[in-house]
Amino acid sequence: MKRVFFYLAVLILLGSCGSSGNGELVGVQNRKPYYQPTPFGMAYIPLGSYTMGVGEEDVAYALVHQPKTVTIAAFYMDETEVTNNEYRQFVHWVRDSIARVLLGDILPEDYLIEENRKTGELYDPPFLNWNTRIDWKGEEERDVLEELFLPEHERFFRRKEIDTRKLNYEYYWVDFQAASKKDFSQDGSGEAGSLANRPQGLQDRSVYVRKEVINVYPDTLVWLFDYSYSFNEPLTQKYFYHPAYDNYPVVGVNWKQATAFCVWRTQLKNSFLARKGGTSNIHDYRLPTEAEWEWAARGGHDFNPYPWGGPYTRNDKGCFLGNYKPLRGNYSDDGGATPIIVAHYPSNDWGLYDMSGNVAEWTSDAFDESSYNFTWDLNPHYQYNADENDPAVLKRKVVRGGSWKDVGHYLQVASRSYEYQDTAKSYIGFRCVQPYLGRQKDDNPAKASHIYKR
């Protein structure tokens, strides 16, 4: 018994000799400081408060933008809409990842990473080896990759092309909305059990994990079915893939595809950081909330109707400040008949281009005419994850900014519109945001007097 007490005393003594901050509450030590760099191609949008929905002319008397004062946390936002060439990087990544999976069956040593060379740990499933370039014309590869191309009876002029119907991106996400719901089913309140699954989640969190399989190729036919009796075949054939349109905003992308792009962009960056030995992941890229979009579009001008701050769509020299439809039947008076190259017009005071005009933009919010009345005044957001079997009214997502084919009313920063989440249009694109980790940029917590220094 004495021996047991002796060992306990030794353990207590050894524990007290560790790095314990001399008995003070100092937190976990030797953690690497984190600095959040400005993401490439993004502008910083500061923390702030503004009156959401003010300054808009309700020409349709829709009453869908009752003004309210809200506060928005700091974040980063793409300076321009995502371009054709940027979205094409996503499409090519999906294409090449599918090709590597196919080639992994015959050449696993070249296209797959099946074990950790340092520890010998086997990966199940294996990782894709991006260091090996795909030999699309190789003798062994050619027959395997044939599966990715259009079957012969669907080809014309003997052109061998990728079957875009097979470019599916698979990802998983956590349904935090479902995780936050309480289970009242036992007390007779009648809440749906499929949503009120918090008790199950405390035992098995997989009930919150959702799987998505999204075809990523833009719908190039939008140029035809958006407009009857209009000759838009050249845009259908060339707008997405021809290098002449590389820096034009991508269109024909529905809300689900835009969301998948944000997920992929996050994974792309985190994978790069992991290869460089990083230990901290970035915050997720995502679509902006409706409130974030309007705050960013205003550029610090609270009560003005347009991103450039003034009440007019022309500057003092008579030049148009955005790409829209200024006159009946006259699309080209502002310099562009259809979408034009991004950043052609001046930015707002926060460095954001084309927040009004060129193409309208998806947000992450579900559309409800009265959402201003029931959302909170701190980072307001109305989210509804519609299923395929839900009625169409529940699949509406907020679209902001107006486009090249819209009249000036829709260019106002407070104007609201919507489109269905599984619908693509020739006048809707998107841009991404990334939350800022902390209060404001350039905060320096090391200056705080209570920080313990060894």
Transcribe 90-108 into DSSP letters.
HHHHHHHHHHHHHHTTT-H
Q: Taking CA 119 as the corner, what is the angle to CA 113 and CA 125, rounded to the nearest 5 degrees?
A: 35
3-state SS, residue 51: strand
8 — pLDDT class (breaks 50, 70, 90): very low
Distance in angstroms (rounded) separating the CA atoms of residues 366 and 384: 6
How much is the average pLDDT of 350-359?
97
pLDDT at 198: 64
Q: Is the pLDDT of residue 232 over 80?
A: yes
Q: Could you give the C-alpha distances from 226 to 82, 255, 335, 344, 425, in angstroms and in order?
A: 21, 17, 22, 25, 7
Q: How many residues make up the chain in this entry?
A: 454
Non-local (6+) Cβ contacts of 177 within 8 A are 383, 385
Q: Within 13 A of 288's CA, how many CA atoms are on the CB side?
A: 31
Phi and psi at residue 422, to the nearest 5°: -105, 20
Alpha helices in 126-249 (DSSP H): 139-145, 176-180, 198-203, 222-225, 233-238
> Between 12 and 213, where is the model more confident?
213
As a whole number, mean pLDDT of residues 31-41 equals 86
**pLDDT score of 444:** 57
What is the amino acid identity at position 335?
G
How far, in Å, CA of 262 to CA of 284, rounded?
Answer: 8
CB distance 324 to 411 below 8 Å: yes
Least Cα distance to 102 among 184, 166, 6, 174 occurs for: 166
pLDDT at 405 over 60: yes
Please say if the pLDDT value at position 5 is more than 60. Answer: no
Residue-averaged pLDDT of the chain: 87
pTM score of the predicted model: 0.89
**CATH class for the region spanning 43-83+243-441:** alpha beta
Q: Where are the domains of the chain?
A: 43-83+243-441
Q: What does the pLDDT average to over 242-253?
A: 97
Q: What percent of the chain has pLDDT over 70?
A: 86
Return the pLDDT at 449.
Answer: 45
* Residues 182-223 pLDDT 10s: 654 444 444 444 445 666 766 788 888 999 999 999 999 999
DSSP β-bridge partners for residue 68? 52
* Burial of 36: CB neighbours in 10 Å, binned 0-12, 13-18, 19+: middle
pLDDT of residue 56: 63
pLDDT digits (tens, 9 = 90+) for 290-331: 999 999 999 998 888 999 988 888 888 888 999 999 988 888
Distance CA 385, CA 380 (A): 16
